[in-house]
Homo-oligomer: A and B are copies of this chain.
Amino acid sequence: MLHFECDYVMGAHPKILAKFTETNMEAYPGYGNDPYTASAKEKVKNACGNPDAEVHLLTGGTQTNKIVIDSMLRSYEGVIAATTGHVSLHEAGAIEASGHKVLQIQGKDGKLCAEDVEKYIENFYADPSHEHMVFPGMVYISHPTEYGTLYTKAELKALSEVCKKFDIPLFMDGARLGYGLMSKNTDVTLADINELCDVFYFGGTKVGALCGEAVVFTHKNTPKHFFTFIKQNGALLAKGRLLGVQFDTLFTDGLYFEISKNAIEMAEKLKKIFTEKGYELFINSPTNQQFIILNNAKMAELQEKVVFEFWERLDEDRAVVRFCTSWATTEKDLEELSKII
């Protein structure tokens, strides 16, 4: 059976496991005070090329979104997100459970448009009864989005300008950030993200780690007592080394970027394989998630040999399905896929 259903189907990059084994019997203080966590933070900061970056390690995406958003908002504020955003739909109400409304705006291909955000906030302040409403206190975007798409540098800049205009932070969910940075069709660099976002994260869970997200506050703007926020949310690991070792490994010698690049190359080949055989793409995604249109018969046929994800029904006869590559996808996987389809 071939596996293309998601990018968290395998364990961790072997170098991570090797490092766990190598450091296992070293005795270290808990709660992130170990040297690997310190080293990981330093390496992430260096990768950002941003001396004002402050790095924190958390366990998963929903957890990270919840803690970052709650720690940066006041009770009367909500977070603007695309209707298709992960925080809008697929986090079981985690943001609302911390008391904040997700202010949903219709996006396009998973992306928020700066103009729409600006108009939303302008309308809010123009409304004479806006003090009876939830204040827009932050903008949340995912990059890559849930549809594998990427913001252009111009789009990101425009969003950042709207945020600055209204003095609210721009937060980038980078659960798949590696795949975004290594895309062949992006003009957004890590330096841009450090400049344009107030906070973002490098997803580890979907890019070669067993778990973990590295949050970066870009201008010494970590909320006060962020550590206690983490603890209060049940997100503090006693063995902080679990995250420290993983990010230390991923950010040594550019491993994070190298394995992201592999996923991109495999995705491009996968896309080529499908299109050359006449399959239609639903979205021309520049990252590791590829959305293919299949008719029902073909879908049933393929499901016997490949695992992929049903995304949504297009019409009675056709569905959109998702194929993901990852750090672990090999040329051999694609050769086999090519034979099957």
Contacts from A to B (Cβ < 8 Å):
1, 3, 5-6, 8-12, 14, 17, 20-21, 23-31, 59-67, 70-71, 74-76, 78, 89-94, 96-97, 99-102, 104, 128-129, 131-135, 205-206, 210-211, 224-225, 227-229, 231-239, 241-242, 307, 310, 328
Contacts and interface: CB of A to CB of B under 8 A. Distances in A.
A62 B99 CA distance: 16
Nearest to A129: B90
Contacts of A10: 24-27
In the A-B complex, list the 5 residue pairs whose CB atoms are closest, starting with the nearest. A63-B234, A11-B24, A3-B27, A92-B231, A93-B134
Contacts of A89: 133
A92 B132 contact: yes
Contacts of A239: 8, 11, 205, 210-211
Given A74-B224, A97-B233, A233-B97, A25 B92 contact: no
Contacts of A24: 10-12, 14, 17
Nearest to A203: B238
30 contacts: A5-B29, A9-B29, A10-B25, A11-B241, A14-B24, A17-B17, A17-B20, A20-B210, A21-B21, A25-B328, A60-B236, A61-B238, A62-B236, A65-B234, A75-B232, A76-B92, A76-B225, A91-B232, A92-B133, A93-B101, A93-B133, A96-B96, A97-B99, A131-B227, A135-B225, A206-B238, A210-B239, A210-B241, A211-B242, A233-B234
